[in-house]
Structure 1
Amino acid sequence: MTLPDSPLEQIKQPVKQLTSLLWFERLARLGYAAKGVVYFIVGLLAAQAAIGSGGKTTNTTGALKAIVVQPFGKFLLSILTLGIIGYVLWRLVQTFFDPEKSQQPINAKRIAKRIGYAISALAYTGLALTAVKLIIGSSIGDSESIEDWTIYLLAQPFGRWLVALAGVTVICVGIYYFYQAYKGKFRHSFKLSQMSQTEQNWAVGTGRFGIAARGVVFVIIGIFLMLASIQSNGRKARGLGGALTILVQQPFGSWILGVVASGLIAYGIYSVIQARYRHIANL
């Protein structure tokens, strides 16, 4: 007797057909480019704040706001939104099917990565919705969503433990980013045979610097989630913009912020290089 396929197996074939289409790959690549633009703007605004030439410490929503007020801003933001949607779709494919590692056995590392892909898909879905609101002219607040989520979690049973767990997890992710930047294994995700040596050097250099900068930000976010848990105060939580603000408030803060901001700019460049040369595997 043949057992019926699981729901995941039933949708695998149509998803396989989808990912084999050229437009899907192009949409996924546009997603990496859109992500790069967002991080580049966040880093650029922070760098300007660090050297006192305007700018401000902000998050990804702030980057979208900076785009929409430019000439043809809504048009540019519409293209960026399409890219973000493409990135969400690619993250969902990675979450459920992990096509780049599909021939390898399931283990704890692969499961952790899939969870990370799912969280990434959720976060960028929220960013896409924010972009759509900006395009249609809806009002967007300046508060960071991590504060709202932390307040919500703290109000739940075992909320403080959940927030503490989230803080520890985010810190661990930040430490993993440091490890990833040090080892440089991300280079294997590129089509190295199609890249010149100069392009490979740029990919590795910006990747290491940018991923390390994200590590700094994640560790700070995790620490403040822990603080929010200890004090049972969701307003203590900090997102990307809040983490950058914390940096500038430290001794030699402008210098520290300048370095991390430069790293976020590097990460933006790295993501654009990914858009051109990253492997986008189909099922």
Structure 2
Amino acid sequence: MTSAASNVKSTASKAANSKPLEYLARGGFIGYGIIHLIFAWIALQVAFQGSKQDSDQSGALQSLAGNGVGKTLLVLIVIGMVAMAIWQGFEAAIGESGEQTRGAKAERALSVARALLYLYLAFYAVKVLRGSNASMGDTSQSKTSGLMDSTGGRWLVGLIGLVVLGVGVGMFVYGLRRKFVKHLNTGQMQHGTRQPIIRLGMAGYMAKGAAYAIAGALVVVAAVNYDAEKARGLDAALKTLAGYSWGVWLLALIALGIAAFGVYCIAQAKYRKV
């Protein structure tokens, strides 16, 4: 490594270890957890009351914008999401331990994906704060429709669907195999809380993985049938489940899992390695 590159990495490492950034990132986990708790409540309403509200993260953000307290919380969520994105950006640049193994490189790639996700949520939260009827489902449907009208677009949409399906399966396995535990300071947990927090993480990642896998499968179906309405992401996935008698109970189970993930995120505010 050249001297200049070494200096850049050293500077990035110091910035990543900044206490203000750590506190903001930990606060971001609380906001991220709140988003998922509201998301889970909306999913339950879709299951048992037939709610037409967007059943994804954008629907949760819109719910918060209904009053002054919610808008204040949205501002704090934006700050937290941006802080988490910056933190994950540093993790992608320098790695958690500086290792260059295949596993470490894969983890750095995941840090890039997380950073983009947090920025995406911050972007939608800002749109909601500005009064826009921001809908991830509408955006996904509109972009899918445009892609399918272009040459080779349906193949690209199908490929995107397969990628999303793969992400969902990967997330499910990530939770099932408890790979997230390595990011937690388990030694700081009291004996009676360690296993419940780990179980919450397992349920949360597996539920989100199932939802994303269904969403990806629907995108593939959209490409095959030339039906952009199926490509509304999580919103389409959960509402499709609600259309079947057996699907209602599966949707309720997924909603409970998403709620578990929300609680797990709040626990991460204290126990995540940052």
TM norm structure 1 = 0.85
Aligned to 2:99: 103
Q: What is aligned with 2:17?
A: 20
> In the alignment, is the contact (CA less than 8 A) between 2:137 and 2:235 conserved in 1?
no
Tell me, in whole angstroms, the C-alpha distance in 2 between the residues paired with 1:116 and 1:235: 29
Q: Which moved more, 1:14-23 or 1:120-129?
A: 120-129
**Matched ranges for 1:170-209 at <5 A:** 170-209=164-203
Name the counterpart of 1:76. 73
Q: Is the 8 A contact 2:46 2:55 kept in 1?
A: no
Q: Deviations over 1:104-148 (max 9, x none)?
A: 42x2x5555444433332333232122123223344357433223
2:148 partner amino acid: L
Q: Which runs of 5 or more structure 2 residues have no equivalent in the other structure?
A: none
Cα distance in 2 for partners of 1:221, 1:82 equals 29
Cα contact 1:210–1:267 (8 A) shared by 2: yes
Match in the other structure for 2:268: 274
> Per the alignment, do residues 78 and 164 of structure 1 end up closer, same or farther by CA in structure 2, a change over 3 Å counting?
same
Q: How many residues align?
A: 274
The alpha carbon displacement at 1:41 in A equals 0.6
Q: Which runs of 5+ in 1 are unaligned?
A: none
**TM-fit CA distance, 1:30:** 1.6
Structure 1 outlier segments of 4+, above 6 Å: none
- The correspondence for 1:92, drawn from 85, 89, 92, is 89
Contact 1:46 1:55 in 2 (8 A): no
8 Å contact from structure 2 (residues 136, 233) kept in 1: no
Structure 1 segment 94-133 matched on structure 2, within 5 A: 94-97=91-94, 99-105=95-101, 107=102, 109-133=103-127
Structure-2 separation of matches of 1:101 and 1:165: 34
Distance 1:5 1:163, change over 3 A: farther
Distance 2:230 2:133 in 1: 24
Q: In structure 1, give the amino acid aligned to 2:99.
A: Q
Alpha-carbon deviations, 1:70-129, whole Å to 9, x = none? Answer: 3422212111111111122122223333x2242242x2x555544443333233323212
Correspondence for 1:249: 243
- Aligned-residue sequence identity (percent) comes to 28
Output one character per residue of 1:175-201: Cα deviation in whole Å (capped at 9) or x when no partner. Answer: 222222222232222111110122212
> Within 1, Cα distance between the matches of 2:53 and 2:251?
11
The equivalent residue for 1:159 is 153
Give RMSD over aligned pairs: 2.6
Go from structure 1 to structure 2 and tell me whether the alpha carbon gap of 1:79 and 1:55 turns closer, same or farther (over 3 Å shift).
farther
Q: Which moved more, 1:159-168 or 1:212-221?
A: 159-168
CA distance in 1, matches of 2:128, 2:63: 11
Residue 64 of structure 2 corresponds to which residue in structure 1? Answer: 67
| Distance in 2, Cα, partners of 1:90 & 1:143 | 28
SS at match of 1:252: helix
| Change over 3 Å in CA distance of 1:224–1:49 after alignment to 2 | closer
User: Is the Cα–Cα contact under 8 Å of residues 214 and 237 in structure 2 kept in the other structure?
Assistant: yes
Pair 270,226 (structure 1): closer, same or farther in 2 beyond 3 Å: same
